[in-house]
């Protein structure tokens, strides 16, 4: 199950400590996955706006079916981009999560 439910669609500096706290990240792998999930939510918000209003009657005539499944397509695009590390948002969040965790242990 994705951890999208714990993440805000609007990233801000104050949400990074909240992500670190809520993820109960005991391992670096789990923290990395949480950071990538956060980036995917952010990308989903941006990409959804890009796809809003696009006609569905183009070359492939997807119509209502294309419109129905578009959200899932955008979600998969978002996950793929986040996983690739192309933007680096997950990297920055992961570093902050590590810093927060290290500060808690000292």
For the cut 70, the answer to whether the pLDDT of residue 49 exceeds it is: yes
**Band (39; pLDDT cuts 50, 70, 90):** very high
* Averaged pLDDT score across all residues of the chain: 79
| C-beta contacts of 2-7 below 8 A and 24+ residues apart | 2/37, 3/33, 3/34, 3/37, 4/37, 4/40, 4/41, 7/37, 7/38, 7/41
pLDDT in tens, 3-18: 444 444 455 555 666 6
Contacts of 91 (CB under 8 A, 6+ apart): 35, 85
Alpha-carbon distance of 71 to 75, in angstroms, equals: 6
End-to-end CA distance of the chain: 32
Residue in 82, 75, 87 with CA at minimum distance from that of residue 34: 82
pLDDT in tens, 53-94: 777 776 666 777 777 888 899 999 999 999 999 999 999 999
For the cut 70, the answer to whether the pLDDT of residue 23 exceeds it is: no
């Amino acid at each position: 199950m994705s951890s999208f439910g714990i993440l805000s669609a609007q990233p801000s500096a104050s949400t990074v400590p909240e992500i670190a706290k809520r993820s109960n990240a005991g391992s670096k792998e789990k923290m990395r996955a949480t950071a990538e999930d956060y980036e995917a939510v952010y990308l989903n918000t941006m990409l959804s706006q890009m796809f809003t209003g696009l006609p569905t009657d183009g070359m492939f005539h997807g119509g209502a079916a294309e419109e129905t499944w578009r959200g899932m397509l955008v979600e998969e695009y978002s996950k793929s981009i986040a996983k690739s590390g192309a933007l680096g948002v997950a990297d920055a969040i992961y570093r902050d999560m590590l810093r927060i965790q290290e500060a808690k242990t000292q």
